[in-house]
A and B are shown apart, each in its own frame.
Chain A
Amino acid sequence: MFLETIPDTSRYMLAGYIISFLTMGLYVASLYIRNRNLRQDEQLLEDLERDGKK
């Protein structure tokens, strides 16, 4: 007997897309957090440098 119905593999598909969006989202979040932390460091160091000159 030949295969007549399409197999239900939708949960694999769903898992694939959830992992894709999760991974890309985590990477974007990591870029944002690292950028925010570096900006805070930059601000702090510039303030310290200004205070040192006074």
Chain B
Amino acid sequence: MQSKPIALTILDVVSIVVLGISTYLALVFAPTEAVMGDVQRVFYFHIGTAWVGLLGFVVAAVAGIVYLVTKDLKWDRFEVAAVEVSTMFFFLTIVLGSIWARPAWNTWWTWDPRLTTAAITELIYIAYFMLRQGIDDPEKRARFGAVYTLLGGLSAPITFMVIRLFRTIHPVVIGSQSAEAQGGFSMSSDMKVAFFFALFAFTIIFVDLMWHRIRLGALQEKVEQLKLKMSN
């Protein structure tokens, strides 16, 4: 295992700084929304985590395709890292959405198309880890993971598009929304600053965490090989 690259250390520091700035912009800089009050401030992290969550699932699907073509296990490590980090962020998206829904919709949860597809997406990727653990052969495990993430990756665009295609109470940030949408608001220029910075900050944090997870996967593989060598 190589020592930690300096670029990764720099990325760690940058991640902490941008997370701090994003929190400041969301909690202090952005104005309070007039109808919903302070709870609307969770919107910035809700969207930031949703963006990297869905992005990671697509990245994992692409890594799966590359693995199937090249059969290089580094792409399996890349895929696992993308799925793990995205599952964590997407879990946060769902929790933050639920917290926002309580005062906005007067309920913690409703089986709205967006909430349903988001929950299914999260469950697909939780199942991914459970199913992978049942396969001992690394190549078989990687092949299974590649096909699974390729099919599972379809849930990301479906989750993104569902509020644009069906009647739903979930508001749409960009584009036209359903007439039934509740909890929507028009963004002021200061809100837009906090919004776009949150997207940028979570992208940086996502890359940083993925890099760490890829390195962890490489170390895991090395230990597995050492164990195999010892047992022979």
**B229→A8 contact, CB < 8 A:** no
**Bound: A21/B85 CA distance, A:** 15
Determine how close the nearest CB of chain A comes to the CB of B21; give it in whole angstroms: 14
In B174-229, which residues have CB < 8 Å from any A CB? 205, 209, 212-213, 215-216, 219-220, 222-223, 226-227, 229
Q: Which residue of A lies closest to B98 (CB)?
A: A16
**B226→A46 contact, CB < 8 A:** yes
**B37→A10 contact, CB < 8 A:** yes
How would you classify the secondary structure of chain A's contact residues: helix, strand, loop or mixed? helix
In this assembly, does B1 line the interface, its C-beta being within 8 Å of a C-beta of chain A?
Answer: yes
**B219→A38 contact, CB < 8 A:** yes
**B42→A16 contact, CB < 8 A:** yes
Choice from A6, A19, A42 contacting B226 with Cβ under 8 Å: A42
**A38→B39 contact, CB < 8 A:** no
Among A12, A24, A41, A49: residue with most chain B CB under 10 A: A12
Q: A23-B92, A42-B1 are in contact. Are A34 and B216 (CB under 8 A)?
A: yes
Determine how close the nearest CB of chain B comes to the CB of A12; give it in whole angstroms: 4
**B38→A8 contact, CB < 8 A:** yes
**Bound: A16/B65 CA distance, A:** 36
**A7→B1 contact, CB < 8 A:** no
**B103→A7 contact, CB < 8 A:** yes
Query: Which bucket holds chain A's interface residue count?
Result: 20 to 34
How would you classify the secondary structure of chain B's contact residues: helix, strand, loop or mixed? helix
**B88→A16 contact, CB < 8 A:** no
Determine how close the nearest CB of chain A comes to the CB of B141; give it in whole angstroms: 18
Q: A12-B99, A17-B42, A31-B212 are in contact. Are A45 and B223 (CB under 8 A)?
A: yes
**A49→B226 contact, CB < 8 A:** yes
**A19→B99 contact, CB < 8 A:** yes
Q: Spell out A's residues near B (CB within 8 Å).
A: 3, 6-10, 12-13, 15-17, 19-20, 23-24, 27-28, 31, 34-35, 38-39, 41-42, 45-46, 48-49, 52
Given A8-B37, A17-B41, 8 more A-B residue pairs with CB atoms under 8 Å apart are A6-B37, A9-B38, A12-B42, A13-B27, A16-B45, A19-B95, A42-B223, A45-B230
